[in-house]
Amino acid sequence: MGILDRFRKNKGKSAATEGPKIVTELEKLCGSDKETYEALSQILHLDPRKIGMTAKESAEEGKKYEKAGELVKANVSYEVAGGLALYEGDVKKVIEYYSAAEKVLPNAKYKILRTKNIEKAVAKAQEYYKTYLK
């Protein structure tokens, strides 16, 4: 009976002492659709109205950074543009901007682009914003 036995005893207790799982509003909205939830949880802005620019302006900023070779800044600008397009409900622009973000930084992967039904994900985002941004 040494120090290792203490760890073994506590191993089972830690899982049992966890409280009830907190379910987020987005999880409630998506329900059992884990694919949509995972895609949106990666890219959904809490309040896109506070960003202070349009999706088009952010995308233009991304193009400028891309031409200047500042790929991380370009990626961030395209991400912001994609998030704003999501807020606006524009499926084509969501695809365009997140694809551009992946192009400039190939290690950046966005689940929204691999979702089977992007239209459904954008519709869920619209529902989320209508419900929680008042």
For residue 68, tell me if it sits in a domain: yes
Q: How many domains does the chain have?
A: 1
- At residue 34, the pLDDT reads 94
Q: Which domain holds residue 101?
A: 33-132
For residue 79, tell me if it sits in a domain: yes
pTM: 0.82
Tokens 């966890």 correspond to 18
- At residue 23, the pLDDT reads 86
For residue 25, tell me if it sits in a domain: no
Give me the tens of pLDDT residue by residue for the chain, a chain 134 residues long: 566 565 566 555 555 556 788 888 999 999 999 999 999 999 999 899 999 999 999 999 999 999 999 999 999 999 999 999 999 999 999 999 999 999 999 999 999 999 999 999 999 999 999 998 87
For residue 123, tell me if it sits in a domain: yes
For residue 66, tell me if it sits in a domain: yes
For residue 80, tell me if it sits in a domain: yes
For residue 86, tell me if it sits in a domain: yes
